[in-house]
């Protein structure tokens, strides 16, 4: 009997020791693969065409995962994107082209619980409690939050995919501290386009129709450099070779062909289930793991209306 008890104790002890080593190893592997900086874990911008008629709730802070918006005063339930699949694909392509130089994934597939920014591209301004004529609505943050929720109103713009895509880029960029500019070549401008638009790597006056002080201070802004600071840049040769980033696997989120990620997550679940004592309840997780998987709260920004 003593030998059986002793053998059982040895087996239990061995199991605990294995999982004490396994949990930190798996967590370190996850952190190493996911990364914690902009270059390793690109920001995700989700273009929601409202196919399932989402309900967006007003809130003090934005939360793209929970569909909470800081710029709404009333509950919004916008109808789906009205101009069909081909038009939508052009909107997506335009938005990806504009953000191609930067380390961000633009997708129309719901990222689920993965932290992301979201632009609802559906309905009209009346669905957000605004008067007709507005093209978009977004929070404005000089210090970009971890998540932001904005709106673009295709029913107000019409079936003009290029303009809708440019408006998506403008509304998303407001949440990252970009104001309106006076250059007809920049997506942040109200002016009629004068050629293909792109974020300009030069100082531009802020304003809608006349120059004014920029929302985050100063009289001018460099829209390209501002986005490069917030999002990070992609390598020039990579952009030229691969074009816009599209539906890639980002960070810990599992994409197609990522079978190794599924096994890592399975191991993590097993490790937590059988080795809880190695990570006591209430004990903080490693800082890098917490940062990469749990965004902090963001402050409320003032809304900007595009019309």
Task: Report how far residue 305's alpha carbon sits from residue 307's, in angstroms, rounded to the nearest whole number.
Answer: 6
For residue 218, what are the domain limits? 35-254+292-306
Residue-wise pLDDT tens digits, 255-297: 333 333 443 443 443 443 444 333 344 333 322 222 222 222 2
Q: What residues does 104 pair with on adjacent strands?
A: 43
- What total of structural domains would you count in the chain? 1
Residue-wise pLDDT tens digits, 39-83: 457 999 999 999 999 999 999 999 999 999 999 999 999 999 999
Q: What residues does 246 pair with on adjacent strands?
A: 106
Asked if the model's pLDDT at residue 21 lies above 90, the reply is no
In a domain, 8, yes or no: no
In a domain, 88, yes or no: yes
The closest alpha carbon to 73, from 57, 61, 53, belongs to: 57
Exposure pattern of 76-97 as b/e (b: 16+ CB <10 Å)? bebebbbbeeebbebbbbbbbb
State if pTM tops 0.85. Answer: no
In a domain, 240, yes or no: yes
125 burial level (CB within 10 Å; 0-12, 13-18, 19+): buried
In a domain, 12, yes or no: no
| Percent helix, strand and coil across the chain, each to the nearest 5 | 35, 15, 50
Please report the pLDDT score of residue 246 as a whole number.
53
CATH number of the domain bearing residue 228: 3.40.390
In a domain, 6, yes or no: no
In a domain, 245, yes or no: yes
The H or E element spanning position 16 is helix 2-34
Instruction: Let me know: does 135 contact 307? Beta carbons within 8 Å.
Output: yes
Residues in the chain: 307
In a domain, 11, yes or no: no
Please report the pLDDT score of residue 41 as a whole number.
79
In a domain, 122, yes or no: yes
């Amino acid at each position: 009997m003593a030998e059986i008890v002793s053998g059982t104790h040895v087996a239990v002890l061995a199991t605990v020791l294995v999982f004490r080593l396994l949990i930190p190893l798996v967590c370190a592997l996850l952190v190493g693969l996911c990364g914690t900086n902009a270059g390793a874990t690109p920001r995700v911008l989700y273009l929601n065409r409202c196919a399932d008629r989402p309900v967006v709730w007003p809130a003090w802070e934005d939360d793209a995962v929970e569909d909470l918006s800081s710029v709404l005063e009333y509950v919004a339930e916008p109808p789906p994107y009205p101009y069909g699949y081909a038009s939508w694909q052009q909107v997506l392509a335009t938005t990806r082209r504009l953000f191609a130089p930067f380390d961000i994934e633009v997708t129309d597939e719901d990222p689920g619980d993965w932290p992301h920014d979201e632009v609802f591209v559906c309905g009209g301004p009346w669905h957000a409690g605004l008067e007709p004529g507005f093209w978009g609505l977004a929070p404005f943050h000089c210090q970009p939050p971890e998540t932001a929720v904005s709106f673009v109103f295709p029913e107000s713009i019409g079936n003009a995919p290029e303009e809708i895509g440019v408006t998506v880029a403008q509304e998303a960029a407001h949440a990252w501290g970009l104001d309106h500019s006076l250059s007809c070549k920049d997506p942040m401008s109200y002016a009629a386009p004068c050629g293909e638009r792109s974020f300009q790597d030069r100082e531009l006056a802020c304003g809608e129709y006349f120059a004014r002080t920029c929302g985050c201070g100063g009289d001018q802004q460099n829209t390209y450099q501002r986005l490069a600071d917030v999002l990070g840049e992609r390598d020039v040769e990579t952009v030229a070779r691969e074009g816009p980033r599209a539906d890639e696997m980002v960070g810990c989120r599992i994409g197609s062909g990522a079978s190794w990620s599924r096994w890592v997550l399975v191991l993590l679940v097993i490790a937590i289930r059988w080795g809880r004592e190695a990570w006591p309840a209430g004990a903080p997780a490693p800082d890098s793991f917490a940062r990469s998987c749990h965004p902090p709260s963001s402050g409320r920004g003032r809304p900007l209306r595009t019309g």
